[in-house]
Structure 1
């Protein structure tokens, strides 16, 4: 990862930031492309506090205020990344919106937000980064999205959200095939258990739910392992964090638990698995 340039959407907090810090520890240049430039009353971190963490970990950081719904802003961020670091080697499509509402309680403004950020934003950012990824010697795109388990139980409770997240996964399926010969890897990564993020805190039960989570570092370590693989040989895969690390020889996941007094069986499983 030394001197590799990583473009992360929504990387000012949570899993995106954890991945950025992990890659920075290996010497990467990390672009934080996210909306939060000023402190948010209910969410931790800004692009600038994230950049400070990246640099403290040993990487070079470029904080850019970007709304990935806006093509011009994404194009500016990509151009600024190339001007600053000379290219793009890795794209992490992390930015996502969530609303766990059934059909009759999903207003169209929220529906549009999820599809514009999750599916359209992933497609747009991938499209604009690809001309530079194609010049890299081991280019990877990693979408934080679930395996395409087309079962009613994953759609019925929150069909709009599931459609939007599966849209990110369909980008993996399609683009992996489209760019296989050019050597650009497209893979997905999803957690086995819930991860302690603001979404869990605010939407899935507060502190008690957070206690039954793993920390974002498990996703960061799994992402690090995937991104070191040969992009011509590792593409079109839907990875699960625990499975990736098990394959890397990890046998004890206790360090990733928020509450280390709990067993793995007591943790809260994530959606879609």
Structure 2
């Protein structure tokens, strides 16, 4: 049975959840909170003073006890006696480990000293947009005084670390009337004798700053709207975004593959329509949490949204080349022999006037959060420009944060990426059966999946089961419709930035003898499987070619594409059509690095939508057996005497796309437990 957290820790978690639930208070995973209290030392039985503080990583809104670090205050504060000075302050992070109380819990963060050295029972360090706006204003110190009087103290920019903790502790001691401080270029810190008092002080600073910016600020801090740069109408805007998304993802993935996120919220569209956005975007973000995720500055298209698409794409490629050159120069200006290697020169954020913002990361959540952080940065710039001039920290300081040895160590501790990390898959017929199993396997291996199905409820259910929009999104599509397929791929690229993997799985089967097979039966099966696969593959190829990142197309064909069985002319013929599409497209698309392969299952009865829809009863009647015995019947006619399940087909899809068969295209993999008559010749 799990022990209940210490009362002070429990109160801290409750406060953290309330603060972290409101984006006005702090950004995702931004800031940290702490509480001090007394507990019994299990060794001596004596009371010991402890501090519970949010550890490295994690998010205040979802913080758990496991995300807290518990430290002995006497040992933590004794570190001041051995502190070697600001030039060696990074060494103190390792020393925090020797202050831990008990086992388990999170690793102490760089901000631990800020919480432990400040003489207050409860401390909050947060990154509210309103507080950072003051922190990044050219005359932030004077504005802080004007806004708060003596209750909130200005702290000049200092990189997070032990010295900043000492500075804030000294400032609190020297200003007993203060409830907190504005940290230049960074955020806010507040304190209190009780958890409620600390939370109230944090909210007082945040809300007072918000009100000050509104009442004191000018109404158009970003300048007038530039004629021609207004947001496109929604349908036109999203169509333009879908056309640009694969190209942009390819550019942003020059150094390493990235997942994308699209944001056309009002703050973004307003910012990129205004006269001052080029100047402000070039200044970059400021709060360390921001530019660690957004890079030092975004790439900004300098053309109106009505520019012909090919001209806009050509200009984006020019700007991308210039961005990479500039980023390389930024790295070389500030790197020292001890600096980590450059992590990549591609932008993490791309701004397109009239269209919106594209952001990128190693997975969907990282890409989405990067975009959210840039919206935070827009809010900060708006506030700072409303009352002053936006003045972020120096570029050299940004570099010290971005290429901090401690940040590099954190990155090196990250788990190894899964085999399909950064891959984006669209699976047709994924609402049930084989398609659902394939979608499950792809997500489990790190891919983002678009669950495409004609049944909207099934698609939505599967996407939710797979983890929701950071892992999987549903799209409703009848794959016999060119328009619906185009729409499905547009939804895919807007959700994740592009498509790397198409699985043509959707199917239907009607089992009848030749003389009972109608033209309607024939047309329906060919429309769904042969025509639908062709249309889906054509749209996938367009996206993949625009991305210039290669890709995979997998056809879930059938043993019937090889084997001639009775009473099955329409289904088997269309499966043979699919099988030859594999060979034809492998030959055509190889020049673009796109591999095309097939899987030939047989007898997949369990969980199959086709079998449940009447195919099972028809095939059982053909073989003269009860329908419930069909799976076992199919198994007994195989060489291995094993029943084939949807998961076995999913395994084959992963084998073809997981990274080991990089030089394989035009292949059909049997997943039939061994049907000799269907051996490839």
Tell whether the structures are fold-level matches, with TM greater than 0.5. yes
SS of 2:478 mapped into structure 1: coil
Cα contact 2:508–2:610 (8 A) shared by 1? no
Moved more, 208-217 or 168-177: 208-217
In structure 2, distance between residues paired with 1:59 and 1:24: 10
Cα contact 2:434–2:646 (8 A) shared by 1? yes
Residue 208 of structure 1: aligned partner: 629
In structure 1, distance between residues paired with 2:562 and 2:647: 28
Moved more, 205-214 or 112-121: 205-214
In structure 2, distance between residues paired with 1:208 and 1:136: 48
Residue 148 of structure 2: aligned partner: none
User: 2:571 is matched with which residue: 146, 156, 161?
Assistant: 161
In structure 2, distance between residues paired with 1:74 and 1:271: 35
User: 1:217 is matched with which residue: 647, 672, 678?
Assistant: 647
- 4+ residue runs over 3 A deviation: 146-151, 192-195, 210-213, 229-232, 269-273
Cα drift, residue 140 of structure 1:
0.5
Q: Closer, same or farther in 2 for the Cα pair 1:54/1:168, shift >3 Å? A: same
User: 2:596 is matched with which residue: 166, 186, 206?
Assistant: 186
In structure 2, distance between residues paired with 1:163 and 1:16: 21
SS of 2:628 mapped into structure 1: helix
Alignment of 1:1-150 (within 5 A): 1-38=420-457, 46-55=458-467, 60-134=471-545, 135=547, 137-146=549-558
Cα drift, residue 2 of structure 1:
1.1
In structure 2, distance between residues paired with 1:195 and 1:17: 14
In structure 2, distance between residues paired with 1:231 and 1:140: 11
Moved more, 213-222 or 197-206: 197-206
Q: Closer, same or farther in 2 for the Cα pair 1:72/1:231, shift >3 Å? A: farther
Cα drift, residue 230 of structure 1:
6.3
Aligned length: 239
In structure 2, distance between residues paired with 1:111 and 1:271: 24
Q: Closer, same or farther in 2 for the Cα pair 1:82/1:217, shift >3 Å? A: same
Q: Deviations over 1:100-141 (max 9, x none)?
A: 112211122221110100100000000011122232534110
SS of 1:100 mapped into structure 2: coil
In structure 1, distance between residues paired with 2:433 and 2:677: 18
In structure 1, distance between residues paired with 2:647 and 2:470: 17
Structure of higher CA gyration radius = 2
Residue 261 of structure 1: aligned partner: none
Cα drift, residue 68 of structure 1:
0.4
In structure 1, distance between residues paired with 2:664 and 2:481: 31
Q: Closer, same or farther in 2 for the Cα pair 1:150/1:60, shift >3 Å? A: closer
Cα contact 2:430–2:459 (8 A) shared by 1? yes
Give the TM-score, by structure 2 length. Answer: 0.33
Cα drift, residue 59 of structure 1:
6.3
- Structure 1 residue 172 and structure 2 residue 582: aligned? yes
Moved more, 158-167 or 201-210: 201-210
Cα contact 2:507–2:610 (8 A) shared by 1? no
Q: Closer, same or farther in 2 for the Cα pair 1:216/1:271, shift >3 Å? A: farther
In structure 1, distance between residues paired with 2:647 and 2:516: 34
In structure 1, distance between residues paired with 2:434 and 2:671: 12
Cα drift, residue 232 of structure 1:
5.7
SS of 1:180 mapped into structure 2: helix
Q: Deviations over 1:207-229 (max 9, x none)?
A: 22135533211111121111124
In structure 1, distance between residues paired with 2:598 and 2:467: 26
In structure 1, distance between residues paired with 2:586 and 2:465: 32
SS of 1:234 mapped into structure 2: coil
In structure 2, distance between residues paired with 1:83 and 1:179: 24
Cα contact 2:561–2:572 (8 A) shared by 1? no
SS of 2:443 mapped into structure 1: helix
Residue 42 of structure 1: aligned partner: none
In structure 2, distance between residues paired with 1:20 and 1:238: 20
Cα contact 1:147–1:238 (8 A) shared by 2? no
Gaps of 5+ in 1: 39-45, 243-263
Moved more, 86-95 or 230-239: 230-239
Q: Closer, same or farther in 2 for the Cα pair 1:150/1:9, shift >3 Å? A: closer
Larger RCO: 1 or 2 (CA < 8 Å, sep 6+): 1
Give the TM-score, by structure 1 length. Answer: 0.79
